[in-house]
Amino acid sequence: MVNGTLLSIGARALAALCLALAAPALARAAPVRAGHLTAEIVADHTAIAPGGTIHVALRQQIDAGWHTYWRNPGDSGQATTLDWTLPAGWKAGEIVWPAPQQLKIGPLMDYGYTGSVLLPVTLTAPADAKPGQTVTLKAHAAFLVCQDVCVPEDAQLTLDLPVVSAGPPDEPHWAPRITAALTAAPWASPALKAAMTPSATTVKLSIAGAPLKGADFAGAYFYPYDGEAIDAAAPQIIERGPNGLTLSLAPGSAFKTGKPPATLTGVLALGSRVFEVTASPGPPLPGASGLGPPPGPTGAPASLGQLTIAMGLTFVGGLILNLMPCVFPVLAMKAASLARHAHQPNAARIQGLAYLGGVVATFLALAGALIAARAAGEAVGWGFQLQSPAIVAGLTLVMLLVALNLSGVFEAGTSLQAAAGQAEPAERGGVLGAALTGVLAVAIAAPCTAPFMGAAVGFALTQGPAIALGVFLALALGMAAPFVVLAFAPALLSRMPRPGPWMEGLKKALAFPMYATAAWLAWVYAQSAGSGRLASLFAAAVLTGLAAWLYGAGQRARISGARSAPALAASGIAIALALSAAFWPAAPTPAALVSQPFSPDRLGELRAEHRPVFVNFTAAWCVTCQVNDRVALSGAKTADAFAKAGVVYLVGDWTDRNTMIEQALAEHGRAGVPLYLMYPANGGEPEVLPQILTEGLVVDAAQKATAS
């Protein structure tokens, strides 16, 4: 019995072996490890028939924390390429690119892939392919793999594919995956129409058609095929319509240089649904706008519970906003004003209500302007008014005037700063002052985000105008609440000290936080307008100070009975000059770093001359390199430090692969860029700077290289 069983098993095994030898080999390929990913060519069928078509795919298994790139890599990077070496008559189509992911890195936006990804390709055999033969298909795959550094990697891949007479069976492991990749790939729907409408600041992309009717547009995003068509890092503002949507895009270099593309082609991603769209120039499509932004993160209008939570969070955020450094000086000034009326309950209540009115009106005005701007397609957020250099300059001068008034340079009477409650002889001046203090407080507070506030404001901006204004009203009430409660609480007011000489000292002490606020606003101005414009702002500040002093001199002359007209006239002239100075042309900015191409010979010459040398190994496709160039290597501080230290700047550009640079990187144990080396003047070993640079790091390295 046992012998019979063994014979039966042996016979079956022998038969299986004979069948395997008689049949053509199945499609097979060996995975290749390419540094930070594993690559291979896989197929959806085990074989191919003469004249037949199957799908193969480049499979990338990318290491955790690393990524490769889409056909348009975005602001930096390089697309994966696949170059085939095929027998005569065999043909491989173009890569079918899956929709990419958004890879936000510093100020840049890249498009690429993480984890596992399949890039399908259509493969066609010639009609005269001979059944029974096995062909070897070869492909050279090149990748740019990035994390903090970017490393070009490649792999030589092969696929052994049998040719059979007809009807090759599916490959059970890869067929469903390749089919899923092809199904999920972007496709052009004949039912969709698209139009692009460019302007000086915006490219409006309107898309409409049956596939988009009633769709969820929350998170909609357009990935262009042309890397110069739009500014990838800028936000894309969504507006819904009954039959589609309109995306407001920031124009890229193609539009800014006067060479716009004939069509705007790319991928519209709506969650798991992706469409290929081609937009021709023309007016916006009907039915693609008019319903405002998506109503919420889930695509559904806010419920009463969501609105209640959002308003509660913003109310608490408004309370905490009173403690933020950017707001505190203005509120401290208001507290001193309220102390003046602590033992006049009616006056205190009127001031509290006036302050509440100023805060609420300003918050709602700013919120209304923000909602209108976003509905018009502008890429703005909360605190947008401080993105305008002109407004920031004006606020800087106003806060300087407040500080000078508190310091006693002039008395504002019933004008703006008496209005702020510092020297108001009349009740009318105090009421106006309380309201204007609320206006100033909100104008300064807007860019601050207190705890609990960020998520609620973000929620408000995804809702309709009425709900959004309700959320901002809660924020205003929260910010005004402490002073209103204090003004209407006799028990609290009665505990405040009575007015006296101490208030004059407090008034002058509060001038210094206001000077600090003016200095902070000047810093904000420099960040948005450029350091070259600071000279104009400082000139305006000096003239503003002169105007305040002349005005104060005129006031004192009038009190003593002398003529005040000349001083007041001179004050007016100084103010006019101050406003003009704020808009003087910017001073020329320092020239960018002057660089020389890197070569070992040039480096050797400079070192023999005992010159400090900074070497930047970079590439146009390296995202970290581009961030560092913008953040640390393009500023005036770095240029000045290099000029003073006599540092020579060499750039090793590895955008196109270069054996000389590859060897230089290998000498320092690197396989990719960026690499930053600061060679000291004394001929010692170079300092290897971190892969993430700051201006301070580079300036310190330059100083040390010279000191050595």
Q: What CATH number corresponds to the domain at position 659?
A: 3.40.30.10
The C-alpha atoms of residue 339 and residue 128 are separated, in whole angstroms, by 98
Task: Examine the domain organization and report whether 159 and 252 are in the same domain.
Answer: no
CATH of the domain at 232: 2.60.40
Task: Examine the domain organization and report whether 204 and 262 are in the same domain.
Answer: yes
Task: Please tell me the predicted confidence (pLDDT) of residue 275.
Answer: 96
Give the pair of three-digit tokens for residue 691: 């892969």
Domain of residue 217 covers 192-281
Picking from 486, 510, 534, the residue at the C-terminal end of a domain is 510
**Which residue's entry shows tokens 């129409």?**
193
Task: Examine the domain organization and report whether 180 and 202 are in the same domain.
Answer: no
Task: Please tell me the predicted confidence (pLDDT) of residue 395.
Answer: 76
The C-alpha atoms of residue 328 and residue 325 are separated, in whole angstroms, by 5
Q: Is residue 47 part of a domain?
A: yes
Q: How does DSSP assign 2-23, residue by residue? A: HHHHHHHHHHHHHHHHHHHHHS
Q: How many domains does the chain have?
A: 4
Task: Examine the domain organization and report whether 457 and 488 are in the same domain.
Answer: yes
Task: Please tell me the predicted confidence (pLDDT) of residue 459.
Answer: 64
Q: Enumerate helices (H) and strands (E) in the chain, giving the number of each.
A: 21, 23
Task: Examine the domain organization and report whether 51 and 170 are in the same domain.
Answer: yes
The whole model's pTM is what?
A: 0.57
Instruction: Name the nearest CA neighbour of 498 among 341, 353, 373.
Output: 341
CB 613 within 8 A of CB 702: no
Residue 479 identity: M
| DSSP state, residue 210 | G
Task: Examine the domain organization and report whether 203 and 176 are in the same domain.
Answer: no
Give the pair of three-digit tokens for residue 213: 């009717």
Low-confidence ranges of the chain (pLDDT < 50): 1-25, 296-300, 379, 413-429, 585-591
Give the helix/strand (H/E) hosting 555.
helix 534-560
Task: Please tell me the predicted confidence (pLDDT) of residue 262.
Answer: 92
The C-alpha atoms of residue 223 and residue 221 are separated, in whole angstroms, by 7
Task: Give the C-alpha distances (Å, rounded to integers) separating 703 from 268, 364, 602, 706.
Answer: 50, 51, 22, 5
Task: Please tell me the predicted confidence (pLDDT) of residue 4.
Answer: 45
Task: Please tell me the predicted confidence (pLDDT) of residue 335.
Answer: 62
Q: Is residue 349 part of a domain?
A: yes
Task: Examine the domain organization and report whether 135 and 212 are in the same domain.
Answer: no
Task: Examine the domain organization and report whether 417 and 438 are in the same domain.
Answer: yes
Query: What's the pLDDT tens digit per position in 546-582?
Result: 888 888 887 777 776 666 566 566 666 666 666 665 5
